[in-house]
Amino acid sequence: MGMWNFYFLGEFYLYFRGFIRFNLLLNALFLVFFLLPLPMDLPFRKFLKILKSLTSVVCALLLLWYESWLPSLGTAFDFLTAREAPSLEYIFRFLMNSINFLELGILLIIFAFCFALRKRIIFTPIVIFLMLIVLLITLRSHTGQQEDGDRYLDSFYQSEMKRTVHFQKPNPGSPDFDIVLIHICSLAWDDLKAIGMDKDPFFSQFDILFTNFNSVTAYSNPSAIRLLRSNCGQQRHKDLYDAAPEGCYLLDSLRAEGYRTFTALDHDGVYGHFTEQVMALGKADPPLKTDGIAIQEYDFDDSPIFDDLQVLEKWLDARQKSGAEKAALYFNAITLHSGSHRVGVKDWWKIDRETHYKDSVQELFKNIEKFFVDLSSSGRNVVVAFVPEHGMALRGSSIQAPDLRDIPLPPITIIPVAIKLIGNGLPALPSHPVIVSKPVSWMTVSYLLASFIKEAPFGKEHSTLDTVIEHIPETPYVSENEGIRIIKVGKDYWFYGKDKKWTKLSPLAVK
């Protein structure tokens, strides 16, 4: 097989390092394809030999992509050819950040070794021997694996279908309060740790802080739909794009309790049909107009991102003028999205990612703190839920490059959710937030709001937060994007992807 042995040895190295999965059947067929010689007397043998070499290159690349943790080719093609395609600068920065120079160097050493000893050592028996080792590993690890993963997931979703948060009328004399849902794109605990902000003072001003909240998904649209349907238990990804039972819609429940609801975005809502989907699938209101609001940044596709604080202040003004007794806002912000860049900043893709991200997070936190001051000055009681959509994937992992979120790993889906109470009639609260570390997800948001509506935390002598927190519904870790699933069973994480098989992930893969 000549230097094609390097391809297989390189694959074995990547497999044992956890960078790819090894498809034994396809690799065995590929190996047989190489070992079958072309008869010497075959017509057009030279042409067929060239054709075989070209076919081998194409098959090798397709096989390597299939075995990788990358999205399917169809998904990648759709992303790159979409109407709102990423800018060339974004693609350049992504490619530069995706290269692992250490592993590339090791592969070059393996290549040099094969090249230097190609006339002294026959590598093909070594390739066949390693393939047999992979066969033994595969047989040992896959026994019952597929059925167990499917059974666990089916049981989880059957259980989730039975869970619903019911909103009840407020207790007599319970004071009114506004609700503000701040839904932030691209912010996970892992991202904050990467930039040294996981213990930032910003979080100390909240009353409840969740350290093990699972966003389930790693993309904006399904995250928004899940939040806006958080009255019900976790749905399968594919079910998000069908109508949910009437009782599942959070904003509908708030409207039934007398809330005037609003939607505001710091972007145009065009990419991925975001506005259309949150209105149709989450029953959100048409977003407030952004006329007169300054453009703060441009997104990865060069669409405008408006000044967060100005958008929030515009809503507050509209809320005051509405005369509503109580109001609720769903606000979606994408200022932290990968590829976003300040107006007027040239060569933004050359700036260190972590430095740029940290500056953006600090600016966002500063704007939100200013908005809290505005809310406090309004004289109204307010419950604020700070809820990221998903993480940034700032650091990446051994199976997924930075900026890629196709695989919804825990470092991407474990997000910093926090609740803040603003008002004049609050009882004495702890100086630091109450930390909730048990596994929870979107139903927690609806549960807290329903609890507060029934018995408002305002106008009381003593805080009732401990009682409310004690009964927060737990949700086992299951995350899901389209065609991709991650489940946690015991201490182990399992992956289901484009090969339609369950694979146990190494600890390095989920860090």
Strand partners for 419: 208, 385
Give the percent of the chain with pLDDT over 90: 60
- Identify which of 7-21, 141-155, 220-234 has the greatest average pLDDT: 220-234
Minimum mean pLDDT range among 104-113, 159-168, 319-328: 104-113
In this structure, are 134 and 159 located in the same domain?
Answer: no
Within a domain: 98:
yes
Cα–Cα distance, 511 to 194 (Å, whole number): 12
Within a domain: 162:
yes
Within a domain: 51:
yes
Mean pLDDT of 114-123: 84
Residue 84 binned pLDDT confidence (cut-offs 50, 70, 90): low
- Whether the pLDDT of residue 284 is over 70: the answer is yes
List, for residues 100-113, the tens digit of each pLDDT value: 788 889 999 988 98
List, for residues 300-312, the tens digit of each pLDDT value: 888 999 999 999 9
Half-sphere exposure of 505 (CA within 13 A, CB side): 27
* Mean pLDDT taken over the chain: 90
Mean pLDDT of 494-507: 88
Which residue, of 118, 141, 164, is where some domain finishes? Answer: 141
- Whether the pLDDT of residue 457 is over 60: the answer is yes
Mean pLDDT of 481-501: 92
Q: How many domains does the chain have?
A: 2
In this structure, are 134 and 158 located in the same domain?
Answer: no
In this structure, are 442 and 314 located in the same domain?
Answer: yes
Within a domain: 50:
yes
- Whether the pLDDT of residue 447 is over 60: the answer is yes
Minimum mean pLDDT range among 240-254, 377-391, 395-409: 395-409
- Whether the pLDDT of residue 286 is over 90: the answer is yes
In this structure, are 421 and 317 located in the same domain?
Answer: yes
Cα–Cα distance, 56 to 5 (Å, whole number): 13
In this structure, are 85 and 166 located in the same domain?
Answer: no
Domain that includes residue 106, residue range: 4-141
- Whether the pLDDT of residue 391 is over 90: the answer is yes
- Whether the pLDDT of residue 464 is over 90: the answer is no
Cα–Cα distance, 170 to 200 (Å, whole number): 35
Within a domain: 148:
no
Strand partners for 265: 332
Give the pLDDT score at 38. 78
Within a domain: 146:
no
Give the pLDDT score at 488. 96
Residue 146 binned pLDDT confidence (cut-offs 50, 70, 90): confident
In this structure, are 174 and 120 located in the same domain?
Answer: no
In this structure, are 116 and 204 located in the same domain?
Answer: no
Give the pLDDT score at 152. 94
Give the pLDDT score at 83. 58
The CATH number of residue 306's host domain is 3.40.720.10
In this structure, are 77 and 159 located in the same domain?
Answer: no
Which residue, of 78, 107, 141, is where some domain finishes? Answer: 141
Which residue, of 114, 141, 168, is where some domain finishes? Answer: 141
In this structure, are 131 and 166 located in the same domain?
Answer: no
CB-based contact 31:127 (threshold 8 Å)? yes
In this structure, are 262 and 361 located in the same domain?
Answer: yes
Mean pLDDT of 266-274: 94
- Whether the pLDDT of residue 135 is over 90: the answer is no
Within a domain: 263:
yes
pTM, entire model: 0.88
Give the pLDDT score at 82. 62
Residue 148 binned pLDDT confidence (cut-offs 50, 70, 90): confident
In this structure, are 172 and 54 located in the same domain?
Answer: no
Give the alpha-carbon dihedral of 9, 12, 13, 14, to 10 degrees. Answer: 120
Give the pLDDT score at 140. 67
Give the pLDDT score at 420. 96
What's the distance, CA 402 to chain centroid? Answer: 12
Within a domain: 130:
yes
In this structure, are 337 and 478 located in the same domain?
Answer: yes
- Identify which of 25-34, 134-143, 454-463 has the greatest average pLDDT: 25-34
Residue 180 has phi, psi (to 5 degrees) of -125, 120
Burial of 490 (0-12, 13-18, 19+ CB in 10 A): exposed
Residue 289 binned pLDDT confidence (cut-offs 50, 70, 90): very high
